[in-house]
Structures are given as structure tokens and as C-alpha cells.
Structure 1
């Protein structure tokens, strides 16, 4: 509980001229990481820290977008313990050996619809009783 109160007090660092709050980036990121844990209610966490839940959701969305655009720094990228390592660049196969992105689809011609050969059978006509009653009423 002390940690939450400490975060709440560190979150707002000032106020802009129009009355909006200015937030500390470190405290904001800590609040976002707290919300990303499983089972944590974003709305409840926002209200406990005097932040609008919609604002917190925007911060979380922006946080996800920033993490997706930043390059992943790991041993596969050629940097280990802060020391660059020379890694061979992967060779891309030639364009001729690649399969095309679109494959043409050929359809077989459709057979003409079958026409009945015998006398045509008439289907019984279903008439609603109310329409018959209206037609009889108009005749009167």
C-alpha cells in the first residue's frame, strides 16, 4: 500500500496553464507496467491513482506501440554485453527462385442449367386470407 501511495504522489509533477496535469514519465511507465500484470483492473488502478481510465488506456496503447517500433537488442542483433559482434548478413534468395505472391486461379466453364423436358408442373399458389378479404371488399 505504501508503494501505491508513493507512486500516486510521484505521478503528478505539475499543472499546465489550461489545468491539465503534467506526469512524471518514470512514474507513468511504472503505473503502465503495473496495469499490464494479469488480473489487474486498469480502471480501478487509474482511479486509485487519480488518473482518468481513458487516459491510462491511451498511455498503455502508446507504450505498446513504442515497444513494437523499437528494435530488439539481443544477441541476434549482433550486440552482446554492449560489444558489437560481426555477424554475416543473411543472403536473400534470388527473385527468380521465389514463388509468386499471387497464383492464378483457373475455373472450369459452368454447364448450362438443365431444362425440364416434360410438361411443366405448376406450383400451387399460396394466398393469404386477408388479401382475399380485401380484394372481395373492394369489389363491393
Structure 2
């Protein structure tokens, strides 16, 4: 029989925060961590308001520079 897994509290908080990110689903986060989605759903009310142990990469909007046409010499024959 398989032994029950135990996860540290900071890890649980991080997983819950990943689930709360825009576009993320509990099932996709569960699959990426190899955890049953129902386990994460039990963690949601317990760790929803706690900060994640590690900061997740933040989206930083950047303005792309306009593409300049390459200067070339045109020779008409």
C-alpha cells in the first residue's frame, strides 16, 4: 500500500498561488506537480491568503521598438 505524501506548508502555499494566477487551472497545476487536483482543492481555503514561499516571475510589459527598414542600395539596370 502506498504511503500518504506530506508536503511542507510553503510548498502548499506556492501551489495554491499558482492556481490563482490568471489562466491557470487547478488540474493543470496539479498535473505539473504530480499531485491529485482534489488535494490542491483542499489546500485552497487554508493557503489562499498566504504568500507563496518563492516569488513567481511577474509579467513586465515592454514596448517593442518599431522595426526600421534595413538601409539598402537599390540599383536599377
Q: TM class by shorter-chain length? A: 0.5 to 0.7
Q: Equivalent residues in 2 for 1:78-117 (5 A)?
A: none
Higher-strand-fraction structure: 1
- Tell me which residue corresponds to 1:57: 41
Deviation at 1:38, TM superposition (A): 1.4
Deviation at 1:63, TM superposition (A): 2.4
Q: Distance in 1 between matches of 2:41 and 2:26?
A: 7
Higher-helix-fraction structure: 1
Structure 1 length normalisation: TM-score?
Answer: 0.32
- Tell me which residue corresponds to 2:26: 42
Deviation at 1:59, TM superposition (A): 0.3
Q: Equivalent residues in 2 for 1:2-21 (5 A)?
A: 19-21=3-5
Larger Rg: 1
Larger RCO (CA under 8 A, 6+ residues apart): 2
The one-character-per-residue Cα deviations of 1:81-110 (angstroms, maximum 9, x if unpaired) are xxxxxxxxxxxxxxxxxxxxxxxxxxxxxx
Q: Distance in 2 between matches of 1:37 and 1:43?
A: 13
- Tell me which residue corresponds to 2:7: 23
Question: Aligned residues, how many?
Answer: 48
Deviation at 1:49, TM superposition (A): 0.3
| Structure 2: runs of 5 or more not aligned | 50-77
Structure 2 length normalisation: TM-score?
Answer: 0.55
